[in-house]
Every structure is written in C-alpha cells, then in structure tokens.
Amino acid sequence: MSGIHFEEARGPDGIRLYAIGDVHGCRDHLAEMHRLIHAEIIRDKPADWRIIHLGDYVDRGPDSRGVIDFLIGAMQADDRVLALAGNHDVGFLEFLAEPDPYGLFARYGGLETAHSYGVEIDLADADRFRESCAALAEAVPPAHVAFLRGLGFSATFGDFFFCHAGVRPGTSLDRQDPQDLIWIRDVFLNHSGLFEKVVVHGHTPVLAPEVLANRINVDSAAFQSGRLTALAIDGAQKRLFAVKG
C-alpha cells in the first residue's frame, strides 16, 4: 500500500507545526491556545515554526467578530501564522453577498455571528430580514471581508497536508477541489487507504481527537464542549493537546 502512515510521518526539518481545530466563535479559547503555543515557542526556541488554523472561525460560538479580529492581528504580527478556509467562513461571505434565509449561515449558527457584530437577523418577516441583512453587511468591517476572501484552502508541510474537511480519495492532493476541501465527509472519513501525506483536518466534530493511519481530526466542537484542540508536530514527534473554557 503506497502513501504515508501517521506513525512514519515527519514534519519538515527545523520547523515546529501547530494545527488548531475549528474555533467557531470561541475567541477566548483561541487566545488561550495562542498564549500556550507562544509560551512553548519561547521556552523551547525551535528554529522555525508555523501555526495553522484549519477553518470555521465563525458561527455558533459567541464572538465570531472577536475571532476574526484576533486572527487578523496575529497574522499581521507574524506571517508564520496561517489561516485556512472552512465551509462556515465561505458561507458567511456568501450570505453577505446573497442573503439566504434557508442557507448554511442562517440555519447553522450564523445568527450568533451576526449578533457578535451587533445585528439581530430576523428570519420571520421578509422585509425585516432584508433590512437586518443590510445592517449586517454594513456592520462587517472591510478588513474582515478581505480576511475571509484571502483564506487559502490547504497547506503542506513535510509529510502532512492541512485542510478544513478532508480530501477526495483517488485524486492527487495538488488537484483537490476547494469544495471538497471545505465540505467533504463520508467518502473521506470512511476511506482506510493511505494518502500521499497524512491529512490533518477538522469539520466533523468528535468527542476525542481521531488519530488514524491516514488522517488526524482535531475538531473537538469548542463551542459546545468547551475544548479547543491542537496538534503539534516537531520532526517525528506528534502530540495533541487542548485548552478548555
């Protein structure tokens, strides 16, 4: 069987990697995770490092606006902080462009996102819905829209491939459809074969991080469980850890 097995997978020489799972509006969890990671970096003094966020910064949790503000600041302060797109982040952009009362944003946590911008989306009345959507579009800073539009869909370091949801088996990693990278589930989750690289992802909440031969899932549903999970990779060493709200 070709491909990379988790046990043999290595990060790039001289670069410590941190991959952080779905944040979903939990700004305090994200800030604490960064505090912990930076404390490790200061203590251990790795030659280089990257912090990779796996998407879904908005919806469901209480402070999506604060999460985006935090990430913009972190990425401006150091370009070794990376952020990938999740389906909820793309859904937020789509809602701002074309509000849909039956779409992902309105049905799965977007009302909490709007609330973090000081706007209550009214789904009960068509006129009030249009008015509240216009208010939300006005309330979202241009820098937030630019941040969301600028999110990449994947990153590769060493023997690891990072994305939000997963990959389509049988398609090479450099030819993956962005829609699959933010949306795929069963065909990826049920695939037992090895990939070209070990896939590190979120998107599908799990009670405990999943570590399989071909993938690692670090989505611990922070908005619900109170735990935000990360994977650290340093050469051949891999470890999972979490912060709790």
Q: What is the CATH number of the domain that holds 70?
A: 3.60.21.10
Is residue 107 included in any domain, yes or no?
no
Is residue 37 included in any domain, yes or no?
yes
pTM of the entire structure? 0.98
113 conformational bin, left if phi > 0, alpha if psi -120 to 50, beta if neither: alpha
Sign of CA dihedral 17, 22, 28, 29: negative
- Below-70 pLDDT ranges, the chain: 1
Is residue 94 included in any domain, yes or no?
no
User: What stretches of 84-226 adopt beta strand conformation (E)?
Assistant: 155-157, 160-162, 198-201, 210-211, 215-217
Is residue 227 included in any domain, yes or no?
yes
Is residue 57 included in any domain, yes or no?
yes
Is residue 159 included in any domain, yes or no?
yes
- pLDDT of 134 reads 98
- pLDDT of 123 reads 95
Is residue 44 included in any domain, yes or no?
yes
Domain count, the chain: 1
Is residue 178 included in any domain, yes or no?
yes
- pLDDT of 2 reads 81
Integer Cα distance of 12 and 157 in angstroms: 6
Instruction: For 134-188, write each residue's pLDDT tens digit.
Output: 999 999 999 999 999 999 999 999 999 999 999 999 999 999 999 999 999 999 9
Identify the domain containing residue 161 by its residue range: 15-87+142-244
- pLDDT of 245 reads 74
